[in-house]
Structure 1
Amino acid sequence: MAAALLEQCEQLVREGLRRDYVPRQSLEPVLRGRLDFAAQVSRRYGQLDQLHVRAFDREPDIWDNRVLGTALRVARTLATQADLVRDLHTIADAFPQAPTPDAALRALDRTRYTRLNARYRTAHIWARLLLRGGGVTDLLTDHGSMADGLLLAMPALWEAVVRRVATEAAAPHGGHLVPSSGATDITVRGDLGNTSAWGP
């Protein structure tokens, strides 16, 4: 799972991480964004040499990237191969990190995919598996789905598979399938005493 997550994250970094508008408060020499009047009056006492501003900057510090950064750091602690650990450490520096793994899982549960973040879906699946401990947690949860049966004639299907594999294996060597009968048939004895014979 760690190697699969690494591969997906490397691809995202190559393509460029998704950026979105993130609110920032900063002290600037010029007005950029909105002036924070309360902070300007209470912290700068009306001085205008430095301005407390609120602005939106396009940055990669968004939840789509944070969950991957958190999963990469978790994967780094679980990996045992030195090369994999090194590569996970290198790529993790490109991603911001969520405050906790639980916060990352909550963000994953809230994630809705659009055309903007659809390319993150596979990486998020690997991240979710790693953050949840590598297994399914809701296998026995009733989601209201009905389980219907699908019955196949398995002996006939298996015979068709063996016939096809034998044909494909013989063809490159100039061979061909010869129908058999009698003593050269393949005899199958089932566990309930049913016996059937067939030949390719």
Structure 2
Amino acid sequence: MAVIAESERLAIRDWAEADAEAALEIFGSTEVARWLAPELGRVPNKTTMRLLLRAWIAAAENLVPPAGRWAIVSKTDGQVIGGLRLGLLPPFEEDVEIGWQLAPAAWGNGFATEASHALMRWAFATGTIDELYAVARPQNVRACATARRLGMEWVGETDKYYGLAMQVYRIRAAELDGSERASREGA
């Protein structure tokens, strides 16, 4: 499994079918699934999660970097604690979205911000994009707060993406270094 990016506490690597149990802790959680866009729905069991992982792994072969889906792994114990995604936003598929999902047991430790910063650095280093977007439902205060901690600028609310009212955040490559510094300093 290829590690594409690392931070102090985390590694970002390809998903594997063997991750099904840990992935179910994330995507099988109602607390996580309710905020996913597009709506994935709560994954009901390990068999379904394994099939979904198999589909993500197969689809990855046809994606143009920096698009993809990855597991967030704790360097401390090697456990999968979350997932990250980079993909084109509908309907025009011009804007690249970053998305993060963590197992509820991992919430509140700064992992989403740390992993997303590492993925953003990698994505911008590919030289194929110069900005990233995050979208979140207005009621998803955790995701909106994470976007702000990532240094993303709020650019408005729209129903353009996924047909849902979404808060839209953006960061440009040139802004990333300052946002990482501010997040480490607690700003």
TM-score over 0.5 for the alignment?
no
More helix by share: 1
Q: TM-score, normalised by structure 1?
A: 0.22
For the pair shown, which has the larger CA radius of gyration, 1 or 2?
A: 1
Give the number of the structure whose residues are more often strand, by fraction. Answer: 2
Q: TM-score, normalised by structure 2?
A: 0.23
